[in-house]
Amino acid sequence: MRARASALAFGILSVVLFAQGLRAQAPPEYVVRDIVGCLNVREAPNTDAAALACLDTGTRVVVLSAVPYWRSVRLQDGREGWAAKAYLELVDGADPAAPAAPLPTDQWLEVHFVDVAQGDAIWIHTPDDGIDGNGVFEGRNIIIDGGPYSADARNPLFAYLEERGHHQAVIDALIVTHPHTDHFKGAETISRHFRVRDYYDPGYPSRLSSYAAFLDAMQGTGGEPARADRIHLGLESFGTLDWGSEVKVEVLHGWSDALAGSMGSGNTEVNNSSIVLRVSYGSTSLLLMGDAEGKDRHDPAGTPRYVEDLLLRTVEPAKLRATVLKVGHHGSETSSTLPFIRAVDPAIVIVQSGRKSFSGTLLPDASTLTRYCCHHNGIRIYRTDQGDESAGLSESEAADGDHIVVRTNGTAPPTVEAYDAGTPHVQTACEPSCGD
């Protein structure tokens, strides 16, 4: 119940932030695409809201504003409601308005770190001004990893997206950082229920049979259609990631056969095949590390190895600095070496973890988090296992609504909306504090 309440709160806040009205020109006119049946116009931007009207193919509406997956529209009789973005297109011959410059303060990049228990699941929604086709503020939706659960009823990311979007909504990019089950299993669910335009995979030569089956499904083997319009296996096939011209996306690391033997062995090598992304919007940047590591568990924290060492040696310092850091490998002691922390110098640290025991060890390691607080006590660390230990939750109970949402308009410092079991949580200090 508390998790459901937090979902409603997210939706209300999204409407407040995104429904700011369009630029100071005539609102654009859209038409209902060629669809089976009719398009419901609802009282609110969710599929549970009451329908005000059902529009036939070719019906024209005026778009007033936007939230993720939905458009606020005015009907020809003057009524206003919400329609699914995927089923509207600009009237033929309409000229998309040129984007405003510099960045408008009412266009928000949202990054949702969804609580899926032990695993990663990230939903990025780029700014959306309600005007399609001009290559900027287009409201793109990107999923990075999906958590550990492929069954519909158990997948928290699937439920999270369905509550905020609608069935068969568009995922512009689905990215699996590396072939571990706590990252790709939930992505399989997303590929079944949403329309994926581009799928990105590091191309690591995994021998895991469940991962091979997942890739087969994505590529459409056995007479089944592919689950993405375009499949990108390996960095050489990625090209430039286009999430709108206002958002810069850089792939800082991924698997290459040339790395074999230098990134550890077994699970360590798989972790270090992770796709590492840097996303920047205006003055805010995010570094998303997947499960990339910086050392073995018993190595000293002052000597980086593996991906962290490679990034420190090959990426220019300005590209490593980030406002927000999603820590590698769920905050394990194998991540976050001291030179790497100093290079990134984050203000906000995100840890995605649950209550899974790894030979008696639960992630994140306190030693890892302490290194951030000792670097700067002004850092704020947010966790998707917030309160799980004190609540006595088991591994299967840990997906209890500890979601984290980072929002930025690219000009002011980003805001963080965090939850503990569906209840708003405010992080007032860096924990565990240096010296604990």
Domain positions in the chain are 24-90, 109-425
The helix/strand/coil state of 305 is coil
Round to whole Å and give the CA distance between 9 and 333.
35
Res. 20: pLDDT tops 50: no
Measured CA distances, 184 to 180, 211, 398 (Å) = 6, 8, 18
Question: What does residue 192 show for φ and ψ, rounded to 5 degrees?
Answer: -80, -30
Res. 37: pLDDT tops 80: yes
Helices (H), 135-195: 156-164, 181-193
Q: Facing residues of 128 across strands?
A: 138
Give the pLDDT band of residue 230 (cuts 50, 70, 90).
Answer: very high
Give the pLDDT band of residue 222 (cuts 50, 70, 90).
Answer: confident
Round to whole Å and give the CA distance between 120 and 144.
8
Would you say 112 and 106 are in contact if contact means Cβ atoms under 8 Å apart? no
Res. 14: pLDDT tops 80: no
Residue 304: predicted pLDDT: 98
Distance of CA 265 to the CA centre of its chain: 28
pLDDT digits (tens, 9 = 90+) for 277-327: 999 999 999 999 999 999 999 999 999 999 999 999 999 999 999 999 999
**How large a percentage of the chain has pLDDT more than 70?**
92
Mean pLDDT of 263-268: 98
Residue 23: predicted pLDDT: 45
Residue 16: predicted pLDDT: 46
The helix/strand/coil state of 352 is coil
Would you say 278 and 287 are in contact if contact means Cβ atoms under 8 Å apart? yes
Res. 338: pLDDT tops 50: yes
* Strand boundaries in 352-413, DSSP class E: 357-358, 361-362, 380-383, 404-408
Res. 15: pLDDT tops 70: no
pLDDT digits (tens, 9 = 90+) for 140-193: 999 999 999 999 999 999 999 999 999 899 999 999 999 999 999 999 999 999
Round to whole Å and give the CA distance between 267 and 230.
28
Res. 409: pLDDT tops 80: yes
Would you say 328 and 319 are in contact if contact means Cβ atoms under 8 Å apart? no
Across the beta sheet with 247-253, the strand order is 247-253, 276-281, 284-288, 324-326, 348-351, 380-383
Fold of 109-425: Metallo-beta-lactamase; Chain A (3.60.15)
Residue 100: predicted pLDDT: 59
Across the beta sheet with 109-113, the strand order is 228-233, 195-201, 170-175, 141-146, 121-125, 109-113, 404-408, 415-420, 423-425
Element housing 253 (H / E) = strand 247-253
Round to whole Å and give the CA distance between 3 and 374.
33
Element housing 16 (H / E) = helix 2-18
Comparing 3 with 258, the larger pLDDT belongs to 258
Residues 6+ apart with CB under 8 A from 229: 196, 197, 198
Beta pairing class for 348-351 and 51-55: unpaired
Comparing 2 with 171, the larger pLDDT belongs to 171
The CATH number corresponding to 24-90 among 1.10.3720.10, 3.40.50.720, 2.30.30.40, 3.40.50.2000 equals: 2.30.30.40
Give the pLDDT band of residue 351 (cuts 50, 70, 90).
Answer: very high
Mean pLDDT of 243-251: 97
Res. 196: pLDDT tops 60: yes
Would you say 275 and 260 are in contact if contact means Cβ atoms under 8 Å apart? no
Mean pLDDT of 38-44: 97
Mean pLDDT of 98-118: 89
Asked whether the whole model's pTM tops 0.75, one would answer: yes
Give the pLDDT band of residue 435 (cuts 50, 70, 90).
Answer: confident
- Please name the amino acid found at residue 174: L
Round to whole Å and give the CA distance between 206 and 377.
40
Round to whole Å and give the CA distance between 133 and 365.
46
Angle of the 2-18 helix axis to the 156-164 helix axis, nearest 10: 40
Q: Facing residues of 324 across strands?
A: 286, 348
Measured CA distances, 100 to 93, 131, 134, 141, 213 (Å) = 21, 12, 11, 21, 45
Pick the closest to residue 80 from 21, 163, 5 (CA basis).
21
Round to whole Å and give the CA distance between 216 and 218.
5
Domains 24-90 and 109-425 share a fold: no
Angle of the 181-193 helix axis to the 209-219 helix axis, nearest 10: 30
Distance of CA 375 to the CA centre of its chain: 27
Output the average pLDDT for the chain. Answer: 93
Residue 423: predicted pLDDT: 98
> Lowest mean pLDDT: which of 25-29, 138-142, 252-256?
25-29
Give the pLDDT band of residue 102 (cuts 50, 70, 90).
Answer: confident
| CA dihedral angle for residue 318, residue 321, residue 323, residue 326, rounded to 10 degrees | 140
Give the pLDDT band of residue 18 (cuts 50, 70, 90).
Answer: very low
